[in-house]
Structures are given as C-alpha cells and as structure tokens.
C-alpha cells in the first residue's frame, strides 16, 4: 500500500518536490525538497487516499560525507488505512549553515518535542515552531553533540569543576525533604557475608 502512496505523491507533486523515492527492504521513503516539507505533510495528512494521521517519530541524521549534510526524517502512520511512510528532507552545508526547515507542529502537534530534540542534538532550526529551545541539554551548552564533527571527548560542565579537600559534601543530591519518600531511603543495608 505504501508504494501506492509514493505514486500518489509523484502524481501530485512531481519531480520538483519529490527528489527521490525508494522502497528499500519494504520501507517506502520519499525525499522532499525542504521548501515543500510542510506542504507535503499537510497533503499526506488530509488527502483521503493517504490519511497519515499519526506522526510516529521525527529525528535528524548527519550525513557528514554528503551535501546537503543534515536530514530530517519523519515516520508516518495511517491508523484508518494501516500503512506507513517515511519522508525525508535534506538541509545544511558542510558547516550545517542553512539547516532550516518548516515545523510540522501545525500539522501534527506531537512533532513539538521531536523537533526540539532534533534542534538540540543537530542544530536544525524549525521555522514556525512554537517553542524552539533546548530540551535535553542546558541553554549554555555550546554545539550539537550528535553531529559527526562534535568532539567525542569534549566536556562542558554546567558548573565549574571544584577542587580541594572538602569537595564532597558540598553538593548533596537531595535536601532532607527531597528524594525518595519510600523504600530504600531508611533501609539499613548489610554487607555480603554479614
């Protein structure tokens, strides 16, 4: 059925919007021009032949050796018809400049946190997103750690490292009224063999 979806997309949008399609290992995929990303998503959601009413996932991919370098990948599912489709778009140059695409939040509200995570990890900006800010890392974090050129050994502490004799004890993980209110908090553990 999803192969039929690819044919519907090609008939409706043609080669100017659909850059390529494939059905590798049964996974039907359409690669879409970034300028038509939201338009194609709206069509897939609203057309009665498609009825792609569920956004299952949205993520980023760094294709370090290709241009455009970054991909946005959305996995769609039609609950009434029970078919799936993957759509992709490619953005960004060698340094990921120009990594901008329209947000799918107006199409599927569930895209909200997926797009925030993709922005946080890859630096892809989603135009029209209602609250595009970091979701996994703190605001002062520099860079996007899932890009392939991000240094694997780089550390970015939120607070400066502390040195000295009484470092331990300065930052207890929980105050007296925080943490677990049940279970292990008051248990007295015995060592093995005692």
pLDDT at 156: 80
Read off the pLDDT of each residue in 119-136 and give the average, rounded to a whole number: 96
Is it the case that residue 189 has pLDDT exceeding 50?
no
Is 39's pLDDT higher than 60?
yes
**Res. 161 pLDDT band, cuts 50 70 90:** low
Q: What is the DSSP string of 122-147?
A: H--EEET-TT-S-SSS-TT--S-TTS
pLDDT of residue 163: 61
Helix (H, G, I), strand (E, B) or coil at 58: strand
Per-residue pLDDT, averaged over 76-85, amounts to: 94
For residues 27 and 41, the model is more confident at 41
pLDDT of residue 125: 97
Residue ranges of domains in the chain, CATH in brackets: 2-186 (3.30.460.80)
At residue 2 the predicted structure's pLDDT band, cuts being 50, 70 and 90, is low
Using omega within 30 degrees of 0 as the cis cutoff, is the peptide bond preceding 68 cis? Answer: yes
CA separation for the pair 10, 29 (Å, rounded): 12
Q: What is the mean pLDDT of residues 24-38?
A: 90
pLDDT at 70 over 50: yes
Is residue 101 within 8 Å of residue 37, measured between CB atoms? yes
**Beta 18-24 vs 54-62: how paired, if at all?**
unpaired
User: How much is the average pLDDT of 122-146?
Assistant: 93
Task: Supply the mean pLDDT for the chain.
Answer: 85
């Amino acid at each position: 059925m999803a192969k039929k979806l690819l044919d519907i997309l090609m008939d409706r949008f043609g080669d100017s919007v659909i850059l390529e399609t494939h059905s590798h290992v049964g996974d039907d995929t359409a690669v879409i021009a970034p300028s038509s990303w939201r338009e194609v998503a709206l069509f897939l959601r609203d057309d009665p032949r498609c009825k792609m009413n569920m956004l299952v996932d949205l993520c980023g991919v760094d294709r370090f050796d290709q241009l455009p370098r970054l991909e946005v990948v959305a996995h769609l599912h039609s609950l009434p018809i029970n078919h799936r489709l993957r759509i992709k778009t490619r953005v960004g140059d060698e340094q990921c400049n120009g990594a901008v695409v329209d947000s799918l939040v107006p199409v599927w509200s569930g895209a909200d946190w997926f797009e925030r995570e993709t922005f946080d990890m890859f630096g892809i900006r989603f135009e029209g997103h209602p609250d595009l800010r970091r979701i996994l890392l703190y605001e002062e974090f520099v860079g996007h750690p899932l890009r392939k050129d991000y240094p694997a050994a780089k550390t970015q502490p939120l607070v400066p490292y502390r040195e000295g004799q009484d470092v331990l004890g300065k930052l207890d993980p929980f105050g007296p009224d925080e943490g677990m209110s049940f279970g292990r908090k008051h248990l007295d553990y015995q060592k093995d063999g005692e």
